[in-house]
Every structure is written in C-alpha cells, then in structure tokens.
Amino acid sequence: MAEGMSKGMFVAGLVLAIVVSSSIGMAVSSILSFGPKGDKGDTGLQGVQGIQGIQGVQGLQGIQGVKGDKGDIGDTGPQGPPVNFSMDNLTGLLPAPAYDSGWITVWTNWKTIHHGVGTKTPFVYILGQYQYNATHIGIHQFMQGEWVWWVNIGNDDIVISIDPNAAQYYPFVKVMLWKIAEP
C-alpha cells in the first residue's frame, strides 16, 4: 500500500469502484436487452383459499318499485251444487231451518242436543230470550264465542255450552241449524 493513503480510504475507494462498475454493467445490459418477447409460460398451481372476511354493514333500503300492471282475470269456477230452494220454505231472508229446538230452558256447562240434520257442517244460530227485569225483556242472538259456544258437531248431535254469567239473564234459548249444501 502506498504511504499517503490510509486503509479506510482504500476500502472506500474499492467499494465505490465496485458500485460504479455494477451500475454501468446494469445500464449496458438493460440497453442491450431489448429483443423479441418470449413465449408465455405455463399457468402455475392454484393457491389455497384465504379465510372469509367479516360481513359488511347493511346498506340503505331502496326506494319502492313501480306498481305493476293488473293481472288477468281468472277462469270462472265450476257450477255449484243444486240447492233445495223454493218460495214455500222462506221465512224472511233465510229459508226455514232444518232443525229448530223451540224455546228450551237454559242450562249451564255442556249439553248435547239431538238435531238429526245429518251433516257435520251446519250453519248454527242461537237465540236467547233476555230478561233482566220486568222492563228489560227481549230476544236476540247470543254473543257466540263469548257467552255461548259449541263443539263436537256430529251428523245428528251438537254439544253446546252456556256461560253461567249469561244463564242468569237468559231463562230460555232456541237452537237452529241450517243444512249447508256441500260440493
């Protein structure tokens, strides 16, 4: 080594020379590397699926859509069953009932009444003869489902219950059934 140059200065100069020559080599090789493009390589293997991300917040509700056109009218249904109807059996707006118990003394709890109508799907109507005192007397429909109700409608029998609170004001009731024509 020369006497006028220190060891540190020599190493710094050597490193600088290596860096400059590498830079010049890279610049020259990149300038001269232009040529025709090569063929596309094969597709690599598919990687593993990543974990599912967290759910995002719900978006705002959209506006109401435009009302659609009215649909086509459907076909007419089949002809209903024949009905035994004549002017002779009309008593007002309804024909005479298939069963009319007449006025019977009221009861509490459950009572089976034989009607003999021969159907499990009659129209049931119950009237009560109301008497609160000498001036409050009348006949009207019971509050069905609240003061009177029926269960176990058979072809020939019906089971009826009258609430004790109603029974104290209704000394007599009348049960009427109409046979509904079934298709």
What residue ranges in 101-171 does DSSP mark as E strands? 104-105, 109-114, 122-131, 137-141, 148-151, 157-162
The answer to whether position 62 is within a domain reads no
The answer to whether position 124 is within a domain reads yes
106 contacts 163 by C-beta, under 8 angstroms:
no
In whole angstroms, give the CA distance from residue 160 to residue 177: 13
Q: Does residue 162 surpass a pLDDT of 60?
A: yes
Residue 106: domain span: 102-178
Number of domains comprising the chain: 1
Q: Which position has the higher pLDDT, 140 or 162?
A: 162
The answer to whether position 146 is within a domain reads yes
If one counts every other C-beta atom within 10 angstroms of the C-beta of residue 100, the result is: 13
The answer to whether position 17 is within a domain reads no
The answer to whether position 32 is within a domain reads no
- Closest Cα to residue 177, out of 96, 81, 71? 96
The answer to whether position 26 is within a domain reads no
User: pTM for the whole thing?
Assistant: 0.46
The answer to whether position 109 is within a domain reads yes
Residue 8: predicted pLDDT: 80
